[in-house]
A = this chain, B = another copy of it.
Amino acid sequence: MKHSSFFFKKKNKLKIFDICKKIKAINPTKDCNIDNIKDLNNANVDDISFFNSLKYLDVLKKSKAKFIITQEKNLKFIKNFCKPIVVENVFKAVAEITELFYPNSLNDNVDFNLISANKKKYKKIKFGKNVLLGKNVQIGNNSIIGHNTIIESNVVIGSNCNIGSNVIIKYSIIGNNVRILDGAIIGKKGFGFFPDENINLRYPHVGIVLIEDNVEIGSNNTIDRGSISNTVIGKNTFLDNQVHIAHNVSIGKNCVITAQVGFAGSSRLGNKVLIGGQAGISGHIKIGNNVNIGGGSGVIKNIPDNTRVMGYPAKELKKFLKENKDN
């Protein structure tokens, strides 16, 4: 969760006994301080993390996390590799702990600190009409911000960037030489909640959107920020119009994502992945490097490196073409 401290006020430390009380779990044998809640990849030695699916077993084995929230049924697989804390609903417990660490993380209101761009403060930036900036916005030299665009508090934008008109950016850190086209909406909370008969309970989103150098984001894209890890768009990746990227998705470098493609949450792409128009990527999928996904495909399982797929569900391109050679 690199940099998320820019955006979300965090409690310094919490006691593990207090955490267990909140999530109704049995205490470990000894109390101690916990620094933060992070995913398995990013957790440090004083953090708490969580494990909900066996497909992350290899990641768990390498994780530095001090404690792992998990369910009873996973215990036998993981108890040799970590100190588990058992709960009934892992994601609900994670949400509760996130709220403990970040008491304001459920607030996703519009930013009322916005004021018209102060051209004296940002001398080497070119602003269009009616640009609204929040507090502590950083923008690098020679960047351009289009008309009616909103950049909420604490957003960081690099130099030589080109932000279009009617764009909204919040909870994001953006590299150099990035182009964001008209109408894109970047950094809103993801579509995560716990269904409830009367009022669904929203999931806290303390991750951000990280956009690396030389990226292009198309018109009317929607890119949600991460819940607990970040949403990442790798260096020199280009996205066409009307692309949707859900929370926690990580896209590698030099990818090409064509129009109207959609990603469900937490999928991870390697480098040099090409995706044709209107393809959909399910949640929690891992896609390798040098993968080519045909337009309209529906990807519902992992794809290894150097593979070409097409179809719904997506299969090897050769197989798809053979099955459909008479059409």
- By a beta-carbon cutoff of 8 Å, the part of chain A in contact with chain B is 108-110, 112, 114-116, 126, 128-130, 132, 144, 146-148, 150, 162, 164-166, 168, 177, 181-183, 185, 188, 191, 193, 195-200, 214, 216, 218-220, 222, 224, 236, 238, 240-242, 244, 246, 254, 256, 258-260, 262, 264, 276-278, 280, 282, 295-296, 298, 300, 311-315, 319, 324, 327
Known: A132-B129, A224-B241, A295-B282. A147 touches B110 (CB 8 A): yes
- Residue among B108, B132, B280 making CB contact with A147, cutoff 8 Å: B132
- Residue among B146, B280, B319 making CB contact with A295, cutoff 8 Å: B280
B191 touches A144 (CB 8 A): no
Known: A110-B128, A222-B242. A195 touches B260 (CB 8 A): no
A199 touches B214 (CB 8 A): yes
Integer count of this chain's copies in the complex: 3
A198 touches B220 (CB 8 A): no
A128: chain B residues at CB < 8 Å are 110, 112, 114
Query: Nearest chain B CB to A204's CB is how many angstroms away?
Result: 15
Q: How far is the CA of A315 from the CA of B312 in the complex (A)?
A: 13
A110 touches B144 (CB 8 A): yes
Query: Nearest chain B CB to A63's CB is how many angstroms away?
Result: 29
Query: Nearest chain B CB to A202's CB is how many angstroms away?
Result: 9
B182 touches A185 (CB 8 A): yes
- Residue among B195, B220, B254 making CB contact with A185, cutoff 8 Å: B220
B214 touches A198 (CB 8 A): yes
A-B pairs, top 10 by smallest CB distance, nearest first, are: A110-B146, A296-B298, A315-B327, A222-B241, A191-B240, A278-B280, A244-B259, A260-B262, A219-B222, A185-B219
Q: How far is the CA of A256 from the CA of B282 in the complex (A)?
A: 16
With most chain B CB atoms within 10 A of its CB, the pick from A198, A238, A278, A319 is A278
Known: A188-B219, A218-B191, A241-B191. A313 touches B298 (CB 8 A): no
